[in-house]
Structure 1
């Protein structure tokens, strides 16, 4: 019976005293399509409500004025009394008026950049309640007289969801954040221990990726707002408010760290500098160009004008090119049979495809739409897992290399000992030869001494013989002389004798 009553009521709504169509509120997130718009000319709420001459016109585009009144007529078809959350765009400075039947007074809620904390989802966010099975009228005053205007034609959007659904969405976001950070922290601590066990550049870059991933995930889900208030540095205004705050700054720094670690890990793991010099230069220059452009754009967003509205698409396209360059490098390394390329390609293929989905999803599917909470959480968790598997494979390769190095070291030590033994043997042989030489030298010295003695003896004998010969010659001469003398005396004696 109750269902029949609700059906009849819904059927009769357009003709029961309302000049505009009624939006029915359900238990799911939906967009209200039946708003009517009145250009503001200094009207008060009382005038807007009571003056029947004011012409509210149906439409969803705001153009040509600085402020508008918008009227929404809603019917609550949800059994729950938990209320609803209404998100309004444009969201520069809006005031929602709701009639409180308990106090019989109109209550107002204000959402503007000056009154709302810097959580982008809260700009333009209102709460209201409509009793189940009843109709209520909401009035909204939208002020669009704003600076930093990038588009003066505003498409009016109203998104509504039950408060319970909104809370479930927030709890789901928090759960994904806790799960993502938990997985990152677990693998970070594990690989930090491995890094301290043996310092490897690849593991260091893996740790940089995890830090960047944690910053990106926290910023994407806007949980930096939970820890401390987020100052808005600059803003621009199009269909909605585009703010650049500390949350976005830290998110961008996380993206830079993530991509830098990813590129550096690829270059280090595959040793592209040695095996793939062209791909190494390609990745290096693409990465440094991205860092340079980011550090040019971020100060502009902080200190001058929020150009995020213009650059975010190109930023995502550049990230796509960088990811494709890494995928190309991994495939080339595998085809050229670079050591460890197979395991790294297997691990990084899933990660690169998952990471590639993020900019593709933003550029082609969900720009300016609700964020897909599970996607970055899945990407961050999967990269932590698969890269950890790749690092385990690399650790095994390193251990195998260490074992080979250990065997080579042992072989080298054995060779060195063998060389030492050979050196000792050579030394002994040299000592033996030196002893032989010394003995031979001594023998030569003895022979030399004998020779000298013999020479002296020979010289002495020769001198003796010479002296003897000289004496003999002298003696002969003396004998001859004596003989002559004797012959002379004999002759004289003979003469004397003869004379006698």
Structure 2
């Protein structure tokens, strides 16, 4: 090799050795994680990775911060020594949720490997890296600062290295806890949906809403929506102190899950305890508390996710305070319902105690530790609150079913009693209908009988009139014969035939015969039963002729007609009537008087 080339190579090796000595070397330990705060920084000027790796003209600044307004990208270089003989697998992430690319050398393939990470990627900030045993491993990170470039503040992100086995165990615990919680929630949701379709009870529908909200909440709390959904979006803000605040789909759905949970819980409380009818004041408090909470929670979430303004970081504490107030209000409503002996209030109070306690602890935890992040989502308070809520409310709902069954049995007994009363009423109604039919039939028969009697009465009346007319005609004929014999006597006064005298006597007697009277009396008593008997009992002093005269007047014969029937003068009839009226003490009235 020419001396010039040897000299050039030695100078390069010297520069590299000086550079390596100057740069901090981070050594792995038995700790599960390692945080690196010192590294070399180089603003990117459209460099390729090969240039960064091999160029001798590019100079990394030691422990420099990243000026977001100076460049779109920054390169970070760090050396990590693995003193152990075996390769060590680590997970690398940034303390600030920025998009970046990790480059490291893979000894098995003898190639440099790169992984993308950050809010815009599905892995959300963590990438795996293999560090070779007994080797100083050089790592490069290309950090994208364009999302926060408009703020212009300098940043100094820490690089966090966590052992793969620790990361995977923590991740497995998160997945297992999430899967168990989701499985329990879905199982109970399906059961409640089935019960709702069977009973049409609004309580089960409200509880189903709570469980759906819990599914959304726990999934967003664990930041799993970016893995389950094929899309994602985010907003990030840089604070003056160099910290960042990011808001993505998981953060937004975390608020939506809370709104769904407390909407369902409040409606469940109102429906279960029937507060609208039994506790109207508390019902209004619960209703307006829900409206207020939705007004505090939803608009800031929408404004923040839309990138208009980052309200969520300012309103998060008020959201959790509102959750505390709603929890206390629900608990106090349950106590009041229990004291007033509202149906199943005791079971509902017991069912709410544990979930409200854990929900309160969760709200306080968020107030102290802010919202969960991708690296700070290992708290099991939400799972405990949800699981306790599932099992305690299951007891309350079973108790409600038992109470409903008891009420149904009571209703069945009441229905049976009502059915028996209805059957008895229908039987009585049938008897009344039959009795009415019998009465109507009897009335009809009586009516028919009365019609027959009326017809018979009219016939007898006509016979009476006819009989009276016959007597009248007979007496008139006898009177005419008498007059004719009298005329003969006047024509032949000197002839005194003994037969004529006998005929006169017979005619005179014939005018007073009672042969037709008996027939008249028979028809009269058919029309007016017991007439003469009753009249005699009231006026026993009446003679036969007076009875006959009263009967003629009773059938409305005129004075002239009676005079013709009795073969006397009308004046004699009037005199006889006057004597009869006097004898009857004024009880007799003739048709003319009527």
TM norm structure 1? 0.76
Report deviation, 1:56: 4.2
Matched, 1:281 2:302: no
Report deviation, 1:173: 0.8
Q: Judging changes above 3 Å, is the alpha-carbon distance between structure 1 residues 434 and 264 closer, same or farther for their aligned structure 2 residues? A: same
In structure 2, distance between residues paired with 1:166 and 1:194: 42
2:343 alignment partner, one of 339, 343, 357: 339
Which runs of structure 2 are paired with 1:351-370 in the superposition (5 Å)? 351-367=355-371, 370=376
Matched, 1:129 2:135: no
In structure 2, distance between residues paired with 1:150 and 1:376: 35
Q: Judging changes above 3 Å, is the alpha-carbon distance between structure 1 residues 51 and 250 closer, same or farther for their aligned structure 2 residues? A: closer
Which runs of structure 2 are paired with 1:80-479 in the superposition (5 Å)? 81-94=87-100, 111-113=117-119, 116-122=120-126, 127=129, 129=131, 131=133, 144=145, 146-147=147-148, 152=153, 156-238=157-239, 239-245=243-249, 247-291=250-294, 296-305=299-308, 307=310, 308-367=312-371, 370-479=376-485
In structure 2, distance between residues paired with 1:253 and 1:212: 8
In structure 1, distance between residues paired with 2:324 and 2:85: 46
Tell me if structure 2 keeps the 8 A contact 1:84–1:127: yes
Q: Judging changes above 3 Å, is the alpha-carbon distance between structure 1 residues 27 and 306 closer, same or farther for their aligned structure 2 residues? A: farther
Q: Judging changes above 3 Å, is the alpha-carbon distance between structure 1 residues 155 and 351 closer, same or farther for their aligned structure 2 residues? A: farther
Tell me if structure 2 keeps the 8 A contact 1:173–1:373: no
Report deviation, 1:423: 1.0
Q: Judging changes above 3 Å, is the alpha-carbon distance between structure 1 residues 137 and 368 closer, same or farther for their aligned structure 2 residues? A: farther
In structure 2, distance between residues paired with 1:366 and 1:430: 85
Report deviation, 1:442: 3.1
Q: Judging changes above 3 Å, is the alpha-carbon distance between structure 1 residues 226 and 70 closer, same or farther for their aligned structure 2 residues? A: closer
- After TM superposition, the structure 1 stretch with the greater mean CA deviation from structure 2, 420-429 or 183-192, is 183-192
- After TM superposition, the structure 1 stretch with the greater mean CA deviation from structure 2, 328-337 or 292-301, is 292-301
In structure 2, distance between residues paired with 1:354 and 1:296: 26
Residue aligned with 2:88, SS: coil
Report deviation, 1:346: 0.9
Residue aligned with 2:91, SS: strand
- After TM superposition, the structure 1 stretch with the greater mean CA deviation from structure 2, 64-73 or 213-222, is 64-73
> Match of 1:3?
none
Residue aligned with 2:121, SS: coil
CA distances 1:68-113 after superposition (whole Å, capped 9, x unpaired) = 8878787768897433334322333556676889999998766455
Tell me if structure 1 keeps the 8 A contact 2:75–2:140: yes
Report deviation, 1:179: 0.8
CA distances 1:96-148 after superposition (whole Å, capped 9, x unpaired) = 676889999998766455xx5144453xx67463757x887877676656448
- After TM superposition, the structure 1 stretch with the greater mean CA deviation from structure 2, 455-464 or 235-244, is 235-244
Report deviation, 1:219: 2.1
Structure of higher CA gyration radius? 2
> Match of 1:9?
none
> Match of 1:495?
none
In structure 2, distance between residues paired with 1:65 and 1:149: 7
TM norm structure 2? 0.65
In structure 2, distance between residues paired with 1:206 and 1:110: 42
In structure 2, distance between residues paired with 1:276 and 1:367: 36
In structure 1, distance between residues paired with 2:177 and 2:385: 12
Tell me if structure 1 keeps the 8 A contact 2:97–2:246: no
Report deviation, 1:273: 1.6
Tell me if structure 2 keeps the 8 A contact 1:25–1:78: no
Tell me if structure 2 keeps the 8 A contact 1:202–1:268: yes
Report deviation, 1:217: 1.7
> Match of 2:15?
none
Taking only aligned residues, the RMSD between alpha carbons, in angstroms, comes to 4.2
Tell me if structure 2 keeps the 8 A contact 1:86–1:126: yes
> Match of 1:8?
none
Unpaired runs of at least 5, structure 1: 1-16, 491-500
Q: Judging changes above 3 Å, is the alpha-carbon distance between structure 1 residues 357 and 237 closer, same or farther for their aligned structure 2 residues? A: same
Tell me if structure 2 keeps the 8 A contact 1:111–1:126: no
Q: Judging changes above 3 Å, is the alpha-carbon distance between structure 1 residues 37 and 265 closer, same or farther for their aligned structure 2 residues? A: same
Larger relative contact order (CA 8 Å, sep ≥ 6) = 1
Number of aligned residue pairs: 465
Q: Judging changes above 3 Å, is the alpha-carbon distance between structure 1 residues 101 and 190 closer, same or farther for their aligned structure 2 residues? A: closer
Tell me if structure 2 keeps the 8 A contact 1:117–1:230: no
CA distances 1:294-351 after superposition (whole Å, capped 9, x unpaired) = 5544543444436333443333333333333322322222222211111111112212
